[in-house]
Structure 1
Amino acid sequence: MSRIAIVSLACAGALALSACSRPAPPDEPVRAVKLVQVEAAGHTGSAEYAAVIQARTESRLGFRVGGQLLQRPAEVGQAVKAGQLLALLDPRDYQAAAQAAAAQVAAARTQRDLAAADLRRFESLRAQGFISGAELERRQTGLNAAQAALDQAQAQATVQQNQAGYTRLLADADGVVVAVEAEPGQVLGAGSPVLRLARSGPRDAVLALPEDRLSAVRVGQPAEVRLWAQPGGAAAVWTGRVREVAASADPLTRTYAVKVALDAQPQPPLGATATVRLAPPAGSAAPAAGPVRLPTSALWQQGSGSAVWVFDAQAGVVRARAVQVAGVDGQQALIAQGLQGGEEVVAAGTHVLSEGQPVVRYGASR
């Protein structure tokens, strides 16, 4: 009985030890991955930038005289015609000054007419020999002075009339009001801007160019402009050429303003957002071979460098491969070294993979 008890205790201990041991690890899951085939392509040098459609000529309009702003009928986004009233100053002081100048003209004209009548009488007396020639010359000089005073008064009256007219701000051309900078009741100085008018006519696509791309843009360079609101419509595509490149950078963004003149009619709407694709400058030769292009999602950090997962079709697993990144073009990374044409690389989900992990092909694209 003791031997049987000993055997029973040994079996129970073995069973307890087997129950406490760590279970065998599960098999590595076979993941479905999206693959992209490596193709080496020459870098064409074309680039896309966000831009805004603006009028080629935008004028900041203001009064030529100072005063209190009474009315501003024009509002942002309103289309106006040449000669249309945009704003009005208090004209009372200028109208009073114009009336005073008109009164001075009337007084000067009266003095001129009196001097002219005196000269005619003295010419008759001189013909009869009753006065000397010197007296007649004094009368002629008086008439000349009266005429000069009349001319001066008329010039001053014209100035005052113009000043009174300057209290009405009129549109100097057809266009659209794109901004207002003064409100009724505000006292303005001469030349203070009241609103900004975008003139009808040619329009530009204005983009902000990074400093590292400045050397690749030239005046006259071809460009294609496509509206964001209508990305698939042929009617929403315009061709143009670079018209102007800013000589200095914006102090805040440190980018350079580039204006692309649009060729076709009708012109796109003002303020519309567009994508500008700049072609390579004229005379530039495209390289015969370029870096490998991959989606930026295919890259992952390996130590201090970058790596990708290369699919081993024979073994059905992925292998880590260190690569050298030459740059980024939009959503694509330019790989200078580490890959060869025809290899397949995992395009997404790189963070859940490990070295030698079995995978299956979800889809391949070229």
Structure 2
Amino acid sequence: MVSSRFPRFTPRISTIYIAVACAALAACSKPVEKTEDIRPVRVMVLAGSDVDVNAEFAGEVRARVESRLGFRVGGKIVSRKVDVGTLVKRGQVLMALDPQDLKLSQAQAMAALRSAETSRDLAKADAQRYRELRGKNFVSQAVLDEKESTLRAAQASVDAQQALYSGQSNQAAYATLTADVDGVVTQVDAEVGQVVSPGTPVVQVAKAGEKEIVIGLPEDKVDALRQITDVHVRLWADPGRSVAGKIREISPVADPATRTYTAKVTVPDTLDARLGMTAVVQFASRTATPQIKVPLTALFHEKSATSVWVVENGAVKLVPVTVAGAAGNDLVLSAGVKPGQSVVTAGVNLLKPGQKVTILGNDVPVAPSKAVAGAAK
């Protein structure tokens, strides 16, 4: 039996209590403030240019003339006078071999020459006596002819020994390796104590003066780039400065490792380029009308339409555009936008028409074509 001291709660009363509690909690909570969704974006200001960048290639600064020098004779290296980076003058000693064996050969050739000269002098005196005897008719003409022949043979032997001695003298001089041009040492391939054979390269010297940029051209662009004369070069260390270059040589054979064709672009002395620096070679041509270019990330694809987001008064709107083609890493737009408009280049898939945006930084693009145009002026 249930005690009557405790009141009994019916389901209806429980429901009322719950509703009152929820109303009290709702009255205590603060209303949620609505915030406007403003997305940060990166933009670029469109600009038209009649310079069409066909391609850019990275290369290395090299001297136009690089000589790999070696000894004309073999032997053991006993001294090295230069290091990598040493400035050398024409005729300066670079390395030297042990000359002892070469000097002995030279001395041997000298002794042989002296012996031949002695034999010739004896034959000459003998022939002179027989000429006098023949004049007095004491000997026959045949005997005199024999002595004259002996003299000529002795003279020929002297000439041969003289040539041999000259050759051995040159060999002794070849024990010293000298620079044949003014330049800088770019590579050392041998050290003191090493035995080298004739012709083995031991030192590489880059001739001072004209420099060039060495690049590799892909096989599908060689013929097209060969016809372009508007070539500009800029250093990776100084990207804001561009100078005109000239294609000096394009290899007729592809490199077996990279399958590219080596091209050499001559640059003027005004470009402060040191050997080994990284440079960018840009090939450009003029178009009939100015072109507007945007990066691929600026395009927004929806169904079958291609558009860009244009920023106006702090908000974006979707503008359909027509893509005319590609120019390097950019796309050329032929309709839909005009120079001076600001176009979103990052985050295009997160926007909606009329959405408020904030611009990150002041990203005004400097397209490669604009840089070339400024350099050309």
What is the aligned counterpart of 1:149 among 157, 179, 183?
Answer: 157
TM-score (norm 1): 0.79
Work out whether 1:179 is the aligned partner of 2:184: no
Evaluate the alpha carbon distance shift between residue 42 and residue 5 of structure 1 in structure 2; reply closer, same or farther with a 3 A threshold: farther
Q: What RMSD, in angstroms, separates the aligned Cα atoms of the two structures?
A: 3.9
Q: Decide whether the 8 Å contact of 1:223 with 1:241 is kept in 2.
A: yes
Q: Secondary structure at the match of 1:117?
A: helix
TM-score (norm 2): 0.77
Q: Secondary structure at the match of 2:226?
A: coil
Q: Decide whether the 8 Å contact of 2:53 with 2:282 is kept in 1.
A: no
Work out whether 1:360 is the aligned partner of 2:357: yes
What is the aligned counterpart of 1:259 among 251, 255, 264?
Answer: 264
Which residue does the alignment assign to 1:84? 92
Distance in 1 (alpha carbons) for counterparts of 2:355 and 2:171: 86
What is the aligned counterpart of 1:346 among 344, 347, 353?
Answer: 344
Work out whether 1:294 is the aligned partner of 2:294: yes
| 1:1-366 map, 5 Å | 5-14=10-19, 29-37=37-45, 42=50, 44-45=52-53, 47-218=55-226, 221-232=229-240, 238-264=243-269, 268-280=273-285, 286-288=287-289, 290=291, 292-299=292-299, 310-311=309-310, 316=315, 326-327=325-326, 329-330=328-329, 333-335=330-332, 339-341=336-338, 344-350=342-348, 353-355=350-352, 358-362=355-359
Q: Decide whether the 8 Å contact of 1:306 with 1:324 is kept in 2.
A: no
Q: Secondary structure at the match of 2:53?
A: coil
Q: How much identity, in percent, do the aligned residues show?
A: 35
Evaluate the alpha carbon distance shift between residue 219 and residue 321 of structure 1 in structure 2; reply closer, same or farther with a 3 A threshold: closer
Q: Secondary structure at the match of 1:121?
A: helix
* Number of positions where the alignment pairs a residue of Structure 1 with one of Structure 2: 352
Evaluate the alpha carbon distance shift between residue 238 and residue 302 of structure 1 in structure 2; reply closer, same or farther with a 3 A threshold: same
Evaluate the alpha carbon distance shift between residue 247 and residue 180 of structure 1 in structure 2; reply closer, same or farther with a 3 A threshold: same
> What do residues 4-44 of structure 1 show as CA deviations (whole Å, max 9, x unaligned)?
8544311345578999xxxx998673223333355665552
Evaluate the alpha carbon distance shift between residue 3 and residue 336 of structure 1 in structure 2; reply closer, same or farther with a 3 A threshold: farther
Q: Decide whether the 8 Å contact of 1:95 with 1:164 is kept in 2.
A: yes
Q: Which has the higher strand share?
A: 2
Distance in 2 (alpha carbons) for counterparts of 1:364 and 1:264: 34
Q: Secondary structure at the match of 1:176?
A: strand
Q: Decide whether the 8 Å contact of 2:311 with 2:344 is kept in 1.
A: no
Distance in 2 (alpha carbons) for counterparts of 1:320 and 1:265: 46
Q: Which runs of 5+ in 1 are unaligned?
A: none
Evaluate the alpha carbon distance shift between residue 239 and residue 14 of structure 1 in structure 2; reply closer, same or farther with a 3 A threshold: same
Q: Which amino acid aligns with 2:309?
A: V
Q: Decide whether the 8 Å contact of 1:53 with 1:269 is kept in 2.
A: yes
> What do residues 335-365 of structure 1 show as CA deviations (whole Å, max 9, x unaligned)?
55895447753222446x2545832343785
